[in-house]
Each structure stands twice: as C-alpha cells, then as structure tokens.
C-alpha cells in the first residue's frame, strides 16, 4: 500500500457486543482480545453483572468491546431482570457488531429461538464457538456450525478457545474488518470507560466467587466506601453486602478467618490490576433481599 492510499484509508471505530449464555466464556474472550485482564471470571455462572467496556486500539481502528451479562430466558428476581435488560440494550442499542459466544454443542430449537429474540436484525453477527480445546468430534462441530448458520445467518463462524488463545487472532481480524468508518470514541491510551474503584469492586466479587460456595457469592454486592491514592499506593475501604445474617456469618467465617482470606486475595488482585501497593479493608453488612429491591439495584449500579 502506498503512502497516498494509506492516508486515504478511513479510521474505523465501533461498538462490539459480546453476547451469550452464562459461563460461555465472554469475559475470558474479551480479556484474550485485549491481551490483559479486564473482566472478572470464575467457573460459576452469572459472574458478570455489569456491561464492561474494553478498548482494543490498533493501527487505523478502535474496537469498543462490550462484555455483557449472560443471557437467560427468564429472570428469577429483580437483579436477573436488570441483567437481562442490560444484555438486550447492549445488543439492540449500543452495538454496531454482535459477537455471539457459544459452546460447541448442538443447540436445541428452543435455544435458537431464544437467541433470535436476543439478536436484533440488521446488524452483522459473528459466531464464536468457544472451548474447542475440549471438543474432539470434528464432524459434530461442522453440524453445530450448520445449525447456527441456518438459524441465525452469521457473517462468519469462528471455532476458538479463548482460554488457550486458539483462533482469537482470526476472530479479532474479522471484528476489525466489520468496523464502520468513524473517528475513535476514546483516547488511544484508554483501556475502559470505568473508574479504578469499579474494577476494585469487581475484583473483590471475583475473589468471593473463588472463596465461597452455593448461593453466597451470588448474594454479594460490593461498594467502595473510601478510595484514596498516594504516590505508589492506594488505600481502599469497601463494604461487602449480603442478604441474610447467615450469609454474613459465612463470609466472615470462624474468628474472622474467612473474611481475612477474602481481603488478602482481593488486595493482591487489586494491586496487580492497579500496578501499585494497596491497603484494603473490608466490612460485611446485611442488606436484606437486595437482589429483589429496585432501589438497591440502582444504588449498586445494576439498573441499566
């Protein structure tokens, strides 16, 4: 390409919504595309609660990647309802390009019908069949691709492993190829539109998902009470909210042992993310039934 033709090539920028069922690997994929950790992950479903923006900047383009909450057919409480609405808004109103992240298994007809309701028409759709490192039947994989192609008409299908970085570069190239001509929406050095305190909350939640079992991590919400920066150091005080006194007892643990472990795991993760020393204090409080309380959902930032 000559210098003249390169100068005439318009800059490309747009919003890309990563959509899919809980635990399909959307957060792992956005981290793989960005080349660093932005979204929290765990083996438990419904870890992602917020629409998280990650900025992929390259020569001549900026892809604004939206990690969205996992898609469910029906909400069990107000929190799940808010998360469903967030995913739907991201697909319908926020995105120029849609990336459906799915596991490489044959989708039943009801699943495909549910996805047709989620995916608005008229927007280019890429299908990312994730976790192929765990898939050993090439013939079945081709049948899965054919089923999705017939039902959803994606412009491209990519078999990937976000965890093992297989096929991620090819998917990224496909995304960039679909970006519309547009100036960049954010500065070239930006990673996200979220503040550091948001990621501190998320990393505490991620540590809770790794430390606790059953319903306890799902009942946790985290709020920053104080966030102070000094040269090379941040001092953070945060509140972990749960729904019942019993859950509070589990989070704290015998003699406070478990909450100390939560604090240390969270502190290390936040320090690694921020790239500086962190002093962290966690308090545990009960906010009864917050997942069913619209005012609590708004306060915690879960309402779209």
Residues of the chain with CATH 3.30.300.20: 196-299
Q: What pLDDT score was predicted for residue 7?
A: 53
Q: What pLDDT score was predicted for residue 99?
A: 96
User: How, if at all, do strands 12-19 and 52-58 pair?
Assistant: unpaired
Q: What pLDDT score was predicted for residue 276?
A: 93
pTM: 0.78
Q: What pLDDT score was predicted for residue 39?
A: 72
Q: What pLDDT score was predicted for residue 50?
A: 61
Q: What pLDDT score was predicted for residue 153?
A: 94
Specify the long-range contacts of residues 43-50, CB closer than 8 Å, at least 24 apart. 44/209, 44/217, 44/218, 45/70, 46/22, 46/70, 46/80, 46/83, 46/218, 47/22, 47/23, 47/205, 47/206, 47/209, 49/79, 49/83, 49/205, 49/302, 50/86, 50/198, 50/202, 50/301, 50/302
Cβ contacts of residue 162 below 8 Å, gap of 6+?
Answer: 25, 28, 29, 31, 32, 128, 130, 131, 168
Q: What pLDDT score was predicted for residue 40?
A: 59
Residues of the chain with CATH 3.40.50.300: 3-178
- Cβ neighbours, 10 Å, residue 173: 10
**CATH class for the domain made up of 196-299:** alpha beta
Q: What pLDDT score was predicted for residue 92?
A: 84
**What is the full per-residue pLDDT of the chain (304 aa) written as tens digits?**
444 444 577 999 999 999 998 888 898 999 999 988 877 555 555 555 567 888 999 999 999 999 888 887 777 788 878 777 888 888 888 899 999 999 888 999 988 988 888 888 889 999 999 999 888 788 889 999 999 999 999 999 999 999 999 999 999 999 999 999 999 998 888 888 788 888 899 899 989 988 998 888 889 999 999 999 989 999 999 999 999 999 999 999 999 999 999 999 999 999 998 999 999 999 999 999 998 898 988 888 877 6
Could you tell me which CATH number the domain at 3-178 has? 3.40.50.300
Q: What pLDDT score was predicted for residue 9?
A: 79
Which tokens hold the place of 148? 């999705």
Q: What pLDDT score was predicted for residue 280?
A: 97
Q: What pLDDT score was predicted for residue 239?
A: 96
Q: What pLDDT score was predicted for residue 1?
A: 44
């Amino acid at each position: 390409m000559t210098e003249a033709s390169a100068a005439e090539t318009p800059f490309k920028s747009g919003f890309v919504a990563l959509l899919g069922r809980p635990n399909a690997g959307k957060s792992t994929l956005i981290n793989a595309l960005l080349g660093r950790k932005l979204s929290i992950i765990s083996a438990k479903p419904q870890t992602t609660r917020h629409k998280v923006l990650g900025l992929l900047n390259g020569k001549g383009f900026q892809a604004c990647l939206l990690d969205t909450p996992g898609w469910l057919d029906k909400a069990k409480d107000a929190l799940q309802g808010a998360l469903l609405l967030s995913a739907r808004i991201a697909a319908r109103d926020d995105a120029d390009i849609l990336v459906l992240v799915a596991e490489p298994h044959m989708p039943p007809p009801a699943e495909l019908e549910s996805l047709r309701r989620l995916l608005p028409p008229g927007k280019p759709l890429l299908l990312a069949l994730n976790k192929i490192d765990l898939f050993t039947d090439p013939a079945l994989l081709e049948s899965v691709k054919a089923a999705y192609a017939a039902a959803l008409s994606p412009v491209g299908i990519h078999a990937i492993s976000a965890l093992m970085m297989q096929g991620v570069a090819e998917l990224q190239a496909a995304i960039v190829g679909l970006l519309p001509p547009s100036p960049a929406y954010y500065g070239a050095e930006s990673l996200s539109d979220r503040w550091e305190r948001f990621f501190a909350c998320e990393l505490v939640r991620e540590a809770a998902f790794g430390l606790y079992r059953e319903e306890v991590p799902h009942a946790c919400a985290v709020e920053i009470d104080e966030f102070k920066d000094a040269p090379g150091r941040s001092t953070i005080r945060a509140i972990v909210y749960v729904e019942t006194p019993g859950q509070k007892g589990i989070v704290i643990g015998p003699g406070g042992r478990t909450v100390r472990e939560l604090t240390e795991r969270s502190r290390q993760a936040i320090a690694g993310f921020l790239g500086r020393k962190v002093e962290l204090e966690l308090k545990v409080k009960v906010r009864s039934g917050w997942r069913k309380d619209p005012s609590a959902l708004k306060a915690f930032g879960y309402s779209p």
